[in-house]
Amino acid sequence: MAGRFKYVVVCSDGTSYEVYSQTFREWGKAKSPRFDLPELLDQGWTPMRECAMGGGDHMAYALVFLEKGLL
């Protein structure tokens, strides 16, 4: 089962960040824009659930749970 699940934070500015990637940085710290969700979808990952996480002055966030099937 290991490696079948991933979490991605999706931002209202169109960026998305895989939570457990080695380049993920703590929120509030400077980071380069990333677009991990489209890449993961291209690799065969399927969104299963999403959860609104709130937002700030100019940004909203959601957490997306992805699964990769055995096929």
* pLDDT tens over the chain, length 71 residues: 457 899 999 999 899 988 876 555 555 555 788 899 999 999 999 999 999 888 777 888 899 999 997 65
- Domain membership flag for residue 24: yes
Contact by Cβ (8 Å): 33, 10: no
Contact by Cβ (8 Å): 34, 9: no
- Domain membership flag for residue 69: no
Predicted local distance difference test score (pLDDT) of residue 39: 95
34: containing domain = 5-57
What residues does 49 pair with on adjacent strands? Answer: 65
- Domain membership flag for residue 15: yes
Predicted local distance difference test score (pLDDT) of residue 3: 72
**37: three-class secondary structure by DSSP:** helix
Number of folded domains that form the chain? 1
